[in-house]
Amino acid sequence: MSDELKQRFSGLAEAVAVRRDQKAFAELFDYFAPRLKAYLRRLGMEASQAEEITQEVMIVLWHKAALFDPVKSSLATWLFRVARNRRIDALRRDKSGLLDPDDPALQPSQPEAADDALDAEQRDERVRKAMLDLPDEQAILVREAFFLGKSHSQIADDTGLPLGTVKSRIRLAFSRLRRTLEQDDGDMTLH
Helix intervals (H) in the chain: 3-19, 22-42, 47-64, 75-93, 114-132, 136-142, 152-159, 163-190
191 residues of the chain, pLDDT tens digit each: 677 888 888 999 999 999 999 999 999 999 999 999 999 998 888 888 999 999 999 999 999 988 988 888 889 889 999 999 898 888 777 655 555 666 666 666 666 677 766 777 777 778 778 888 888 888 888 888 877 777 888 888 888 999 899 899 989 988 988 888 888 666 554 44
Residue spans per domain, the chain: 3-106, 114-190
pLDDT of residue 117: 67
pLDDT of residue 105: 64
Model pTM score? 0.50
pLDDT of residue 185: 65
Fold topology of 3-106 = Rna Polymerase Sigma Factor; Chain: A (1.10.1740)
pLDDT of residue 100: 63
According to the CATH classification, is domain 114-190 in 3.90.420.10?
no
Per the CB < 8 A criterion, the answer to whether 39 and 49 are in contact is: no
